[in-house]
Amino acid sequence: MIGTQIQHYKIISELGEGGMGKVFKAFDTKLERFVAIKFLNPNLLKDSLFLERFRNEGKNHAKLSHPNIVMVYGFIEYRDLIGLIIEYVDGITIEKLIEKYKRLNVIYSLKIIRQVLIALEYAHSKGLIHRDIKPSNIIIDNNGVAKLMDFGISKSLDSKIELTRLGRNLGTILYMSPEQINNQPTTVRTDLYSLGITLYEMLNGAPPYYFSNEFKIYEAHLKNVPQKLSSKFPDVPPEIDELILSAMNKSTVVNFNSATEFRKTVEELIFSLPIKINQVSYNASDEKKEEKKINRNILVPIFFTIILLSFASLIYLFVQNYLPRNDEKLEEQTINFNTIKPTTKTEWQKIDIPNASNFIDMIILNDKIYTIDDNQKAYLIDENSEVKILTNSLFDGINKILSYNNLLILLGNNGNILITDKDLNIIKSINVSEKSILSADILNKQVVFCGSDGLVGKFDVESYNYSIMSNVHSTDYLDIKFLNSNKIILVGIDGSVLISENTGKDWSREKLSNNYLKKIAIHPNKSQILISAGGGTIFSSIDGGKSWTQIQLNITSPVNDFYIFDLKNYYAISSSGDLIYSTDGGSSWNVQRTGYFVPLNRISSDGRNLFIIGNNGLLIKKGL
């Protein structure tokens, strides 16, 4: 299956295999992002219970949109395969961390458990319980964010259909709650019980009831109280024992009835436990080490020195970033720099779009926004935020929108190019290839486009003539731009950048990254090129692509789009809901949250507002 393309998903590698099937990493050529696809084991398709559970996973999980929960994007059915499209997270599971380090730091473990509890609070408020909390279902991404995976056996609290059959208990037995063992109705306390055992394993290196005999494990869950960790490890205080027992409903003091109760106690411990537990010693002894005391008289001058240095740094940053330099010849536009403040959701105005799906691309023309989703709908939003919805089967699979005079050019899957008027009425439909067009650019009346399997071509908007180039390296190309009337730049999924000085007759190719290259931005007033790569990386060139500088952002999710406002002020957006901005011409970048935890796909401006589109029909704007 590796290397094959199923619909608009290209299978990259196998991520793992579980009881329900295999999980693959794939590249979504339509939305230009990596995803994970969980294919149900074909042998289970005959089992109506498993099939119902699998579909339940998608339906229940898709209701959840939270930064600490791995997102579900939808279903895929192909021949004899049924799959679930889910968010791809580049990170490591708690299970792998335990395998690597044997035991985890107490405070670190509490902070991870706190994030999982925040996710459970949200899921429980939506009427869903997970029912399979365990270390392998908690992944830590490269930003240190814990995400809860696999609601495959979750159950709606309001559902009257119990999918559990006698003799087929759900959940992994090492983490299974007593009610699951007894085939009793599961509640939110089921998740708290399993999370308590997960915390125990993080601190112990093994779960509390670790026997080779399944019956003994079942009996222990029902009858036993786990050994106190404080009796085994000097770095574990008694408060942790009580926390775990409260989660497992075996406490002599209090039992947690909700994720909120559990979380508040965890937060109290994070701040109140002695500082000595921040350091885990795997060879800890009972010997107490003398703590060094800091003279308070030393702290006062140090404190004031830090304040003076911070003030001086702020002055330096202000001079460097906001006062004009002599070498800047272009006049910069005035921007409200409240963007450097932490952004909350209230700073962004959400424009409600009825029945919208995932927005793919947009263009702003004559104060109107044209955007299209992945469900055969196009939208025209005027300056008063009034929405006009147009549907057409030909709108399905559109990946790029361009404009020419009063015309719109829509390019998409199966090599289709549509020419429409300003009201999105189709004037002409041309098929130039059987391959998918993933991106395009226009200069004067000439369009250059690129796509899957080495597709690169040119198209004349007035004559409708087109040509496909056969002299390019074969890979999936994700973006293409004109540098001038003769010079074209192209980036691919294999990490290569191609440049032509003669409108595509000849190409030079350079491998910039072992990861994919995704989006190109060209500064209109400088010879600067920006290219986004996987893993939160940007490549910058100030000499037209002759040399490149690599910039690592403080994120790991891919940058999906750029918007260059003027000489200094650049914006970008990510797959995890981030707005990334630079106030120094792209030399350094800052990250802030939009408050919307969905992939953001395009960013643009009408000169007064920033507009961002994303998944789940998201369209937001913010004044500049």
Angle (CA) 43-45-46 rounded to 5° is 85
Q: Report the percent of the chain where pLDDT is more than 90.
A: 47
* Spatial distance between the Cα atoms of 412 and 449, rounded to a whole number of angstroms: 10
498-540 per-position pLDDT tens digit: 999 999 999 999 999 888 899 999 998 768 999 998 878 999 9
Convert the pLDDT of each residue in 141-159 to its tens digit: 988 999 998 875 555 454 4
Three-state SS string over 425-463 comes to CEEEEEECCCCCEEEEEEECCEEEEEEHHHCEEEEECCC
Q: What is the mean pLDDT of residues 372-401?
A: 88
Which is more confident, 312 or 424? 424
Per-residue pLDDT, averaged over 481-490, amounts to: 94
Q: Is the pLDDT of residue 624 over 60?
A: yes
**What digits encode the pLDDT tens for the residues 273-294?**
855 444 443 334 443 343 344 4
Q: What integer pLDDT is reported at residue 539 of this predicted model? A: 95
Binned at pLDDT 50, 70 and 90, residue 337 comes out as very low
Residue 305 is encoded by which pair of tokens? 């020195």
pLDDT of residue 36: 92
The per-residue pLDDT of the chain, averaged, comes to 82
pLDDT beyond 70 at 169: no
Predicted confidence (pLDDT) at residue 321 exceeds the cutoff of 50: no
Q: How far apart are CA 527 and CA 510, in angstroms?
A: 18
Task: List, for residues 220-230, the tens digit of each pLDDT value.
Answer: 898 889 999 99
Q: In the CATH scheme, what is the homologous superfamily, with its name and number, of domain 361-623?
A: YVTN repeat-like/Quinoprotein amine dehydrogenase (2.130.10.10)
Query: Which pLDDT belongs to residue 329?
Result: 36
What are the DSSP calls for 471-519, one per residue? SS-SS-EEEEEESSSS-EEEEETTSEEEEESSTTSS-EEEE--SS-EEE
Joined tokens for residue 624: 């500049």
5-87: CATH number? 3.30.200.20
For 91-156+168-278, CATH number out of 3.40.1180.10, 1.10.760.10, 1.10.510.10, 1.10.3720.10 equals: 1.10.510.10
> pLDDT value at position 303?
53
The residues spanned by each domain of the chain are: 5-87, 91-156+168-278, 361-623
Strands ordered across the beta sheet of 508-511: 477-482, 488-492, 496-500, 508-511
Confidence (pLDDT) at 563: 94
Is residue 190's pLDDT more than 90?
yes
